[in-house]
């Protein structure tokens, strides 16, 4: 029998129930989706990226994206090479909002983030990365650093030892270059290389979309854990499936009516937990689920315009009648 590879992680007094984590996704990692993926077995979730400038200024919209800390959530901060601002924002997140894990975004490749010298722009200044981590570490937080393989060329041999030495407790590697955006595939051969450079908690991320490839990545890369992003938006139940496959060698796939019920619960949770007046900010998450189950052209059109839970129920009505999904138990 193979050794189990889904396991808890304890770090500096913080207990994380497992090593299957949900990635920070701007526009998606709001409270309702974070709660939903945790219900389906994610061990840790991340907020979407939060501006240090906004936190320090007390900007209400910024704070709303970060609060409240819902248990087993890390807050992700982004900003330019100003260690003292990161430290100030981290203190606010810890003291006023109860966060224990502060993540620093060293990977975002989008123009408006690069323009202010933040995100993946910092990969070009490894010494500034070290200073930021050191400054945040002084607050007593568990520090997580999320990086890409490099900006326009791989430079993990520079960045990882600097993060390690500065005291980052967790290093998350998405092995694509920033200039690639999301093109091509994540180069997972870089994760074992990263493993040789650090004894810190190392998390691999990128293109994991089935329970099988999740376990293969976890087993073959030497990483302590994995992080799932895009695939988990439409299939939050992937986390449980990965753990089940590890535990029993098989996993349950929810039926279409079960997925439909899950979507309605998710929408109700969104209404309860969000200040938005309509469901429009969560339409794309609903669409991801609908698309993940195929043959949905008519429903997709309806879902793109939902505003209320009743409209969602109506839009999804009949979905299960057109689709036949047996109560399958897949095995390897």
Ligand X SMILES: Cc1cc2nc3c(=O)[nH]c(=O)nc-3n(C[C@H](O)[C@H](O)[C@H](O)COP(=O)(O)O)c2cc1C
Residues annotated catalytic, as ranges:
108
205 binds ligand X (CB under 6 A): yes
DSSP class of 109: -
How far apart (Å, rounded) are the C-alpha atoms in residues 330 and 249?
9
Nearest approach, Cβ of 185 to ligand X (angstroms)? 9
187 binds ligand X (CB under 6 A): no
126-137 helix and 156-166 helix, angle to the nearest 10 degrees = 20
Nearest approach, Cβ of 29 to ligand X (angstroms)? 7
Nearest approach, Cβ of 45 to ligand X (angstroms)? 11
Helix (H) or strand (E) holding 204: strand 201-205
User: Of 9-17, 62-70, 132-140, 225-233, which segment contacts ligand X by CB under 6 A?
Assistant: 225-233
β-pairing verdict for 14-16 and 9-11? antiparallel
Closest among 15, 5, 7, 227 to 142, alpha carbons compared: 15
223 binds ligand X (CB under 6 A): no
How far apart (Å, rounded) are the C-alpha atoms in residues 114 and 80?
9
Count interface residues toward ligand X (CB under 6 A). 21
83 binds ligand X (CB under 6 A): no
129 binds ligand X (CB under 6 A): no
Considering only residues 8, 27, 84, 95, which one is a binding residue for ligand X as defined by CB under 6 A?
A: 27
Q: Is the dihedral of CA 233, 237, 241, 244 positive or negative?
A: positive
Nearest approach, Cβ of 24 to ligand X (angstroms)? 4
Q: Which is nearer to ligand X, 206 or 254 (CB)?
A: 206
Considering only residues 38, 100, 146, 193, which one is a binding residue for ligand X as defined by CB under 6 A?
A: 146
Nearest approach, Cβ of 31 to ligand X (angstroms)? 15
Question: In degrees rounded to 5, what are phi and psi of residue 5?
Answer: -115, -5
How far apart (Å, rounded) are the C-alpha atoms in residues 145 and 74?
11
Q: What is the largest CA-CA distance in the chain?
A: 58
Draw the binding track, 265-294, toward ligand X (x: CB under 6 A; -: no contact).
------------------------------
User: Of 21-29, 65-73, 91-99, 269-277, which segment contacts ligand X by CB under 6 A?
Assistant: 21-29
171 binds ligand X (CB under 6 A): no
How far apart (Å, rounded) are the C-alpha atoms in residues 140 and 77?
16
Considering only residues 69, 169, 187, 207, which one is a binding residue for ligand X as defined by CB under 6 A?
A: 207
Minimal CB distance residue for ligand X: 229
Considering only residues 48, 164, 224, 246, which one is a binding residue for ligand X as defined by CB under 6 A?
A: 48
Q: Provide the token pair at 216.
A: 């293969």
Q: Is 320 strand, coil or helix?
A: helix
43 binds ligand X (CB under 6 A): no
Q: Which is nearer to ligand X, 242 or 316 (CB)?
A: 242
260 binds ligand X (CB under 6 A): no
Closest among 196, 188, 218, 195 to 4, alpha carbons compared: 218
User: Of 22-30, 82-90, 92-100, 256-264, which segment contacts ligand X by CB under 6 A?
Assistant: 22-30
230 binds ligand X (CB under 6 A): yes
Q: Is 250 strand, coil or helix?
A: strand
How far apart (Å, rounded) are the C-alpha atoms in residues 134 and 115?
24
Q: Which is nearer to ligand X, 22 or 251 (CB)?
A: 22
DSSP class of 26: T
Considering only residues 14, 26, 81, 256, which one is a binding residue for ligand X as defined by CB under 6 A?
A: 26
Question: Who's near 58: CB < 8 A, 6+ residues apart?
Answer: none
Q: Which residues would be at the binding site for ligand X (CB under 6 A)?
A: 23-27, 48-49, 76, 105, 107-108, 146, 174, 205-208, 228-231
């Amino acid at each position: 029998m193979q050794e189990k590879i889904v396991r808890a992680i304890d770090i500096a007094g913080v207990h994380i129930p497992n090593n299957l984590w949900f990635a920070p996704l701007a526009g998606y990692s709001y409270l309702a989706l974070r709660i939903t993926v945790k219900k389906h077995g994610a061990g840790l979730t991340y907020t979407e990226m939060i501006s240090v400038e906004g936190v320090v200024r007390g900007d209400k919209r910024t704070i709303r994206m970060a609060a409240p800390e819902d248990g087993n959530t890390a807050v992700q901060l982004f900003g330019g090479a100003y260690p003292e601002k990161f430290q100030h924002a981290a203190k606010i997140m810890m003291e006023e909002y109860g966060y224990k894990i502060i993540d620093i975004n060293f990977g975002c490749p989008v123009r408006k983030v690069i323009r202010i010298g933040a995100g993946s722009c910092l990969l070009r200044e490894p010494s500034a990365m070290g200073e930021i981590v050191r400054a945040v570490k002084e607050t007593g937080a568990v520090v997580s650093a999320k990086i890409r393989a490099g900006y326009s060329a791989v430079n993990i041999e520079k960045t990882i030892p600097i993060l390690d030495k500065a005291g980052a407790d967790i290093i998350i590697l998405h092995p694509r270059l920033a200039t690639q955006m999301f093109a091509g595939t994540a180069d997972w051969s870089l994760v074992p290389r990263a493993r040789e450079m650090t004894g810190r908690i190392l998390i691999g991320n990128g293109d994991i979309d089935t329970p099988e490839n999740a376990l293969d990545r976890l087993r073959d890369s030497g990483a302590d854990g994995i992080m799932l992003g895009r695939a988990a938006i439409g299939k939050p139940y992937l986390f449980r499936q990965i753990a089940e496959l590890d535990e029993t060698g098989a996993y349950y796939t929810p039926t279409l009516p079960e997925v439909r019920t899950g979507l309605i619960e998710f929408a109700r949770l969104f209404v309860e937990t969000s200040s938005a007046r309509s469901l429009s900010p969560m339409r794309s998450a609903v669409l991801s689920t609908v698309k993940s189950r195929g043959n949905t052209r008519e429903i997709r059109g309806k879902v793109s315009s939902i505003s209320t839970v009743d409209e969602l129920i109506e839009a999804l009505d009949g979905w299960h009648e057109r689709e036949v999904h047996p109560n399958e138990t897949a095995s390897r």
